[in-house]
């Protein structure tokens, strides 16, 4: 599994949203790395991680061996992260995830709660998809495999990923995000959509987590709106809610200063 790592201090593992990769965390990373060892993996099939979970993508492409791909699931994505923690010899970390990364973070929490010292959930939700959402995901996965992702995926997603304030006032953020989406491999996009379609409800996992938990949500998020964040905070015994003005679904990209301001003191209070 490919990952980016920088900084020193509290081990903080941040899992990215769909359909981007670890680089979405860079604006926040630079604001935390004097306090935290920030580790951001590329989920399998996305960024530079291969679809078979074993190597970096370049090596996968050069290998003559047939590719064995696990059935798409957030549990498999979480197992990859656990394997990375083992490799880095990190028994416990503060774990964060944005949107899809939050689905994978709760899957990891279900599988190995003792590895999680604190939980940071950003613009994500604990509910399963509706039938319509699931069908849309499976159709998008089929289209990605058939046509590739160029053009349509970024066009379809951008208006929902970024809040109105960002879209109106910061066109450069939209441009950077488009490039990041366009850089994703179509097979990894399809795998991730199918994995998300299969994910379970995670309210039970949140209810049983007694560590510190922060739930951050952009007030302009229309994909996982503040109502979804409040439901998670209600389930978390030690959950606290932060709503960020002027941000949509991706506060680490849209509002990194405001996000760092709330995360820094919370992180400092956690004993890993
Ligand atoms: C994401 O940002 O990771 C996705 O929008 C999540 C989703 O499709 O549910």
Hey, which of 156, 196, 225, 250 would you mutate to test ligand 1's pocket, going by the most ligand atoms within 8 Å of its Cβ? 196
pLDDT digits (tens, 9 = 90+) for 28-80: 999 999 999 999 999 999 999 999 877 666 665 666 665 667 899 999 999 99
What residues are paired with 218 via a beta bridge?
244
ipTM of the predicted structure? 0.96
Give distance in angstroms: CA of 143 to centre of ligand 1: 17
Residue span of the structural domain in which 55 resides: 3-268
CATH code for position 22: 3.40.50.1820
Give distance in angstroms: CA of 63 to centre of ligand 1: 31
The answer to whether the CB of 196 is under 6 A from ligand 1 is yes
Give distance in angstroms: CA of 99 to centre of ligand 1: 5
Q: What is the pLDDT of residue 53?
A: 79
Atom of ligand 1 nearest to the CA of 223: 5
Q: What is the pLDDT of residue 67?
A: 62
Q: What angle do CA 122, 234, 157 make, to 5 degrees?
A: 30
How many angstroms separate the first and last alpha carbons of the chain? 24
Rg (CA), the chain: 17
Q: How many domains does the chain have?
A: 1
Q: Which among 137, 140, 145 has a CA at the least distance from the CA of 196? A: 137
Q: What is the pLDDT of residue 66?
A: 58
The answer to whether the CB of 77 is under 6 A from ligand 1 is no
Q: Tell me the residue ranges of DSSP E strands in the chain.
A: 3-6, 10-15, 36-41, 93-98, 116-122, 213-218, 239-244
Atom of ligand 1 nearest to the CA of 16: 3
Atom of ligand 1 nearest to the CA of 101: 3
Q: What is the pLDDT of residue 70?
A: 84
Q: What is the pLDDT of residue 61?
A: 62
Task: For the chain, list residues with pLDDT below 70.
Answer: 55-68
Q: What is the pLDDT of residue 151?
A: 87
Q: What is the pLDDT of residue 4?
A: 97
For the chain, give the mean pLDDT.
95
**Separation CA 172–CA 122 (nearest Å):** 22
């Amino acid at each position: 599994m490919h990952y980016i790592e920088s900084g020193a201090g509290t081990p903080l593992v941040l899992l990215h949203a769909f359909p981007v990769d670890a680089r979405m965390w860079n604006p926040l990373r630079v604001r935390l790395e004097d306090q935290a060892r920030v580790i951001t993996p590329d989920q399998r099939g996305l960024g530079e991680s291969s679809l078979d979970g074993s190597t970096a993508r370049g090596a996968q492409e050069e290998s003559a061996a047939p590719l064995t791909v696990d059935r798409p699931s957030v549990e498999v994505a979480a197992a990859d992260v656990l394997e990375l923690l083992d490799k880095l010899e990190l028994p416990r970390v503060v774990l964060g995830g944005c949107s899809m990364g939050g689905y994978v973070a709760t899957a990891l929490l279900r599988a190995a709660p003792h590895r999680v010292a604190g939980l940071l959930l950003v613009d994500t939700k604990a509910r399963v998809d509706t039938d319509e959402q699931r069908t849309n995901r499976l159709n998008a996965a089929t289209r990605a495999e058939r046509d590739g992702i160029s053009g349509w995926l970024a066009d379809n997603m951008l208006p929902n990923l970024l809040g109105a304030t960002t879209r109106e006032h910061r066109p450069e953020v939209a441009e950077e995000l488009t490039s990041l989406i366009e850089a994703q491999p179509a097979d990894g996009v399809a795998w991730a959509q199918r994995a998300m379609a299969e994910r379970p409800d995670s309210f039970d996992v949140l209810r049983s987590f007694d560590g510190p938990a922060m739930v951050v949500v952009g007030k302009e998020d229309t994909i996982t709106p503040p109502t979804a964040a409040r439901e998670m905070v209600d389930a978390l015994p030690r959950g606290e809610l932060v709503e960020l003005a002027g941000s949509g679904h991706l506060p680490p990209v849209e509002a990194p200063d405001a996000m760092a301001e709330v995360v820094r003191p919370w992180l400092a209070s956690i004993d890993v």
